[in-house]
Amino acid sequence: MSSQSLLHGLAILLFLQWISTLIISFLQIPFPPALLGMLLLALLLATGVIRIATIEDICSLLIEKMGMLFLPAGVSMLLYLDVIKAEFSAIALTIIVSSFAVLLSTALFLEIVLKRQAKKGGKQ
Amino acid sequence: MFPELLLNSPLFGIGLTIIVYCICEIIVERLELDIIPPFVLACPIIIGLLLLNPQIKYEQYAAGGNFINFMLGPATIALALPLIRNRKIIKRHAGIMLGGITIATLTAIISIYVCGRLFGTSEQVLLSLLPKSVTTPIAIEISHTIGGIPPLTAAAVIFTGMLGATFNHKILSLFGIKNDLAAGLAVGASSHGLGTSVCASVSPVQLAIGGVAIALTGIATSILAPLLLPLLKSILG
């Protein structure tokens, strides 16, 4: 990991976010700029306009430490402790049940479909 | 414990976030608690520190915290890297992945509505919980559109992510799901970036699929939530 490529990579990421923010505000659609930025970067990498080596270091670093970046949002929970306390068990149960329902329904659907595909592929 | 000089500078929030996170990383590493992501340890520690020191205002933490929060933007864009590295797998399975995301989004919206009614959350809280499986910036946007409380949505998103980061992979292995495509998509769709960041230590393919799932679930939820809500209201009350 070189410090130069870290900085160049960061410059590209920030520039893409800049452009995405402008595009979204111009089009006036409710879409998060960072997601548009992700699609733009994927496009630029796929077409070879940006080399993977240029953004590799900063991307790996940001992804690996993404958990830390969520901390301030987590701490902002502090502001709504009253509401959360008042309905804590209902909120917690709803989140727990629905999170695992989503996880399992999605994973099992894919497992079943992929296994079927593998069987079909085996016969051909 | 903290002098005013420090509290009145963004240095405080930035420093506190990074220092506490690193200490938690070291604790997790030393005690070999690899089941607990450092975030899950660090978040209550910072909240506790702020609650135990009432002279510190939340705004003083947020002044620096906002800088860290800002980096979530570039970090989301960075997910394009695993995406591109695994584009062959993604292209080959595009159809199944779209199917999986549709199922994930429908399950999320319906199960939250049913559970919320069943466990008795108030109307506004229910609406705030609805976009909880989606990445924070989109979730806040959706919450705003359907009449929830955006900061409460942010809290629900983080709680979902913490839950997912800690338990997703244990539950998946309990059900014998080892396929990277199935696991990655399910993790990304149910617990966004916080859950997906754990995939980084499992496999690069899983991380890439997780990144795609975050993007697709965000788009699907922002389209489906406002459409399904009136329908659920008329059926379930």
pLDDT at A77: 81
Q: How far apart are the first and last CA of chain A?
A: 46
- Judged by CB atoms closer than 8 Å, whether chains meet at A63 and B197 is answered as yes
Residue recorded with tokens 């800088």: B67
Select the residue of A62, A70, A111 nearest B39 (Cβ to Cβ): A70
Q: In the structure, what pLDDT confidence band is assigned to residue A122 with cuts at 50, 70 and 90?
A: low
pLDDT at B74: 93
Residues B137-154 have a mean pLDDT of: 83
Q: In the structure, what pLDDT confidence band is assigned to residue B216 with cuts at 50, 70 and 90?
A: confident
Residues of A in Cβ contact (< 8 Å) with B236: none
The whole-angstrom separation of Cα B12 and Cα A70 is 17
Name the residue of chain A whose CA is nearest to B138's CA.
A32
CA of B32, closest CA in chain A: separation in Å? Answer: 18
Name the residue of chain B whose CA is nearest to A77's CA.
B155
Q: Give the tens place of pLDDT for each residue, B16-30.
A: 999 999 999 999 889
Q: Best of B76, B170, B181, B224 to disrupt the A interface by mutation (most A CBs within 10 Å)?
A: B76
Q: In the structure, what pLDDT confidence band is assigned to residue B139 with cuts at 50, 70 and 90?
A: confident
Percent of chain A with pLDDT over 90: 60
Is the Cβ–Cβ distance between A107 and B185 less than 8 Å?
yes
Residues of B in Cβ contact (< 8 Å) with A59: 78-81
The token duo for B116 is: 């919320």
All residues at 6 or more sequence positions from B136 whose CB lies less than 8 Å from its CB, including other chains? A70, A73, B72, B154, B157, B158, B192
Lowest mean pLDDT of B34-38, B52-56, B122-126, name the range: B34-38
Name the residue of chain B whose CA is nearest to A112's CA.
B182
Q: In the structure, what pLDDT confidence band is assigned to residue A46 with cuts at 50, 70 and 90?
A: very high
Residues A104-116 have a mean pLDDT of: 93
pLDDT at A30: 66
Closest listed residue to residue B153, CA positions, set B99, B223, B225: B225
- Judged by CB atoms closer than 8 Å, whether chains meet at B197 and A37 is answered as no
pTM of the entire predicted model: 0.82
Q: In the structure, what pLDDT confidence band is assigned to residue B83 with cuts at 50, 70 and 90?
A: confident
Residues of A in Cβ contact (< 8 Å) with B183: 107
**Average pLDDT taken over every residue of chain B:** 90
Phi, psi for B12 (deg, rounded to 5): -65, -55
Residues of B in Cβ contact (< 8 Å) with A20: 77
Residues B190-204 have a mean pLDDT of: 88
- Judged by CB atoms closer than 8 Å, whether chains meet at A67 and B108 is answered as no
Q: Is the predicted ipTM greater than 0.85, yes or no?
A: yes
The token duo for B207 is: 């991380």
Q: Best of A83, A110, A113, A114 to disrupt the B interface by mutation (most B CBs within 10 Å)?
A: A110
- Judged by CB atoms closer than 8 Å, whether chains meet at B186 and A93 is answered as no
Residues B170-191 have a mean pLDDT of: 94
Residues A60-87 have a mean pLDDT of: 88
